[in-house]
Amino acid sequence: MKVVALVSGGKDSCYAMMKCIQYGHQIVAVANLMPADDSVDELDSYMYQTVGHQIVVSYAECMGVPLFRRRIQGSTRHQKLSYRMTLGDEVEDMFFLLNEVKRQIPSVTSVSSGAIASDYQRLRVESVCSRLGLVSLAYLWKKDQSLLLQEMITNGIVAITVKVAAMGLDPSKHLGKEMASLQPYLHKLKELYGINVCGEGGEYETLTLDCPLFVNARIVVDEFQVILHSSDSIAPVGVLHPLAFHLENKAQSCSLGSSDKTHEMYHEKKGFLCEVQGDHPQGCDAACQDDAPVNNLVELAEHKLHISRTQKGDTFSICSRLQDSCTTSTGLQEDLEAVLKKIESLLVENGFGWENVLYIHLYIADMNEFATANDTYVRYITQEKCPFGVPSRSTIELPLLQVGLGSAYMEVFVANDHTKRVLHVQSISCWAPSCIGPYSQATLHKEILHMAGQLGLNPPTMTLCQGGAIDELEKALENSEAVAKCFNCSISTSAIAFVIYCSTKIPSTERFKIQDKQDAFLKQTRVFNLDKGTNSEAFDPIFLYVLVPDLPKGALVEVKPILFVADDIEEPTGDVKEQSCSSTPGYWGFQHAEWHDSCFQKCVVPGKLCTVILSVSSEPAATICHDHLVGDKNKGDNQNSLREWQMDRVSRFCIYLLDKIITESGFSWDDTMYLRFYFPTSLQVPANALSLMFTNAFDELAAMGRIIKTGKEPIFNLVPVLGAGRSSASMDDIITCELLARKS
């Protein structure tokens, strides 16, 4: 990508540019924001470093690329963490600056910044990038600061301190010192006082005088003045004001551009300096507009939509899909629009909106149409509609058309409050895969962390790692762990359940290795955390493996963890999975048998939540029906196929066993947040018939006096798959149930 780099003059923004080049991008311009008054060293700004701005003007000549500068006219007006366009705010100066860069250099597609740990700064850069259609690159994000400082020094960043404001740093002693010489002392201050060694807490600021990016010249400060801003006896504040400097030419000068730059506009502007002025650059008004409401769509034809929802009042799921659409489906876009409109109307009917949605499962019939699905999705679900954070999301290809469910199917997980905490990093970094758009990495709500589906992507390049399914799984787990750390937890200790989607592209010989790799990774990570003295207790998570036709980017595996993040760190460990349940009376002729325990996994946090995976494969199904699955061999029945009366019997067994599990775990059906039934297309039982079986079973359960509310809509979702099971080697269940219940 062609990159414009935001530079303050500090070490971080310069090293971020070096990382861009390392990952194959090209720096075509740099951009800087400076005080309106040249004599002012520092502004009262949460966003910008301005100390040393008098020297940044030399970067154009040192690097051989254009420098765009703008004097800061705004102030800090929008102080909330997530930024919304606010006239007169200092962030709008960044917008005007980058808008002008984009106008003069249309090939620019991305913006580099040196953000390391500040969500405040990162979110504002991402907001501006989103408005301008640019990609944010933040390759220093979440990197270990001790290692990062060493990296910078090792890789040739020569920077001096131009501001100090921390305990142990003395303006008279430490201003103007090179980072290489200060590094040991900074580590000592970290041990003594817990300072950030890279200065992310405002402990100090730097000015880069030389680095590998300075291909033409290095900067030499000839004279400076130390200005004391605060004489506090504990943490005095001082800045270095440069009085004179010069450039020292390097023997072999060149430019940072690649060989094709002779055809670019910016080639003629090497070393060019542009002052960006004015309040509203041309083209700004259009770019500043919020996403237009979805009111100009062609009116859709009437669809027969199937709706289901759980009955829990405060946190529940709503599912919308087409039914009997084998002949009526006209394509993904129309089907998805119908589904989105229906869910939106249901949310409004219940007094909710997209801002109440925690998580979205987006199922599509053809992953080759992912771009179309995404374009349609973002017309309805936008950051402007979700001021408390956009939902997390997983997108999976399912065999929808084979069972007559149209081209799109969506399940949304909804909360009736705004207490969710959303992690949404849109910048490409080395930390974890970015989420560029209105979907986030994870959402924490009432101690449950709902993580987006994670692929085996290399974060800095956003490409799938090479080496097959096992390598992809390991990288996906590493990415999941990076996300979990942002919530001060680990997938090895806080996870209560994992859903692993496996593509049919995985050779059958590799499938059994997936489970082994997952177990080994979690064990190794748990040991690592224990060695660090963190997370001394761990849950015993449950696992579901689902076989699907395809995944985003052609990935072979996708990992979707669910974690319990306790508000109380003394929270007891969950129950051991596969605990026997035998005290509840039987019905439908079912009585407790020892083999029932082999049909389910559960993880319970007493008094908090209960998650269950129930698997019915061929052998228990045969026992349930007192018959063999093969049926009439002369008719060529599939080994997974069942006569409808047999499937009806199996459906009642599932409800019976789920009822026993949740009741004896101290929960009720009213606590259910979502309930999914995964069924393979090889079952050869129509989806509508299967839905009716489960509906009738729940109605009968309610009639027996069990505490369960049924209504005109099913309280469960049916999900067609190619296979599912508790083992990656044998995803051949007749039916698989996934349930999550939580006490209010």
For 191-222, how does the pLDDT look when each residue is reduced to its tens digit (9 = 90+)? 999 999 999 989 999 999 999 999 999 999 99
| Gap between the Cα atoms of 536 and 558, Å rounded | 28
pLDDT, tens only, 437-465? 899 999 999 999 999 999 999 999 999 99
Range 517-537 average pLDDT: 83
Please answer whether residues 93 and 74 qualify as being in contact, where contact means their C-beta atoms are separated by less than 8 angstroms.
Answer: yes
Q: How far apart are CA 724 and CA 547, in angstroms?
A: 6
Q: Distances in Å between the alpha carbon of 522 and those of 266, 437, 480? A: 50, 30, 11
489 φ, ψ to 5°? -145, 180
Sequence letter at residue 206: T
Return mean pLDDT, the chain: 87
Q: How confident is the model at residue 138 (pLDDT cuts 50, 70, 90)?
A: very high
Lowest-confidence range among 97-111, 571-585, 598-612, 664-678?
571-585
Orientation angle between helical segments 644-664 and 687-703, nearest 10 degrees: 50
Phi, psi of 652 (to 5 degrees): -70, -35
Is-contact 741 605, C-beta < 8 A?
A: no
pLDDT recorded at residue 67: 96
Q: Are 609 and 496 in contact (CB under 8 A)?
A: yes
Whole-model pTM: value is 0.89
Which amino acid does the sequence have at 605?
Answer: V
Listed by start position, the domains of the chain span 2-157+214-221+243-250+271-275, 302-419, 456-568, 590-628+640-743
**Residue range 456-568, CATH number:** 3.30.1330.40
Q: What is the pLDDT of residue 395?
A: 96
DSSP string, 2-25: EEEEE--SSHHHHHHHHHHHHTT-
Domains 456-568 and 590-628+640-743 share a fold: yes
159, 179 contact by CB (below 8 A): yes
2-157+214-221+243-250+271-275 in CATH: which number? 3.40.50.620
| Dist. CA 433–CA 431, nearest whole Å | 7
Chosen CATH of 590-628+640-743 out of 3.30.1330.40, 1.10.260.40, 3.30.420.40, 3.20.20.70: 3.30.1330.40
Whole-angstrom distance, CA of residue 106 vs CA of residue 88: 26
Contact 46, 118 (CB under 8 A): no
Residue with tokens 């990656």: 728
Burial 129-140 (b: 16+ CB within 10 A, else e): bbbbebbbbbbb
pLDDT 10s digits, 170-197: 999 999 999 999 999 999 999 999 999 9
pLDDT of residue 699 exceeding 80? yes
Positive or negative, the CA dihedral 612, 617, 620, 624 is positive
Asked whether 130 and 124 are in contact (CB, 8 A), the reply is: no
User: Any alpha helices (H) in 579-679, and if so which ranges?
Assistant: 618-625, 644-664
- Compute the 3-state secondary structure of the chain and give helix, strand, coil in percent, each to the nearest 5: 30, 25, 45
CB 564 within 8 Å of CB 609: yes
The CATH number of the domain covering residues in 302-419: 3.30.1330.40
Helix (H) or strand (E) holding 190: helix 179-193
Query: Is a pLDDT exceeding 60 seen at residue 235?
Result: yes
**Burial (Cβ within 10 Å: 0-12, 13-18, ≥19) of residue 700:** middle
Q: What are phi and psi of 589, to 5 degrees?
A: 85, 0
Q: Which SS3 state, helix, strand or coil, does residue 132 take?
A: helix
DSSP for 350-372? TT--GGGEEEEEEEES-GGGHHH
Tokens of 443: 């959402």
155 CA to centre of own chain: 30
Helix (H, G, I), strand (E, B) or coil at 694: helix
CA distance readout (Å), 520 to 458, 492, 516, 529: 21, 10, 6, 14
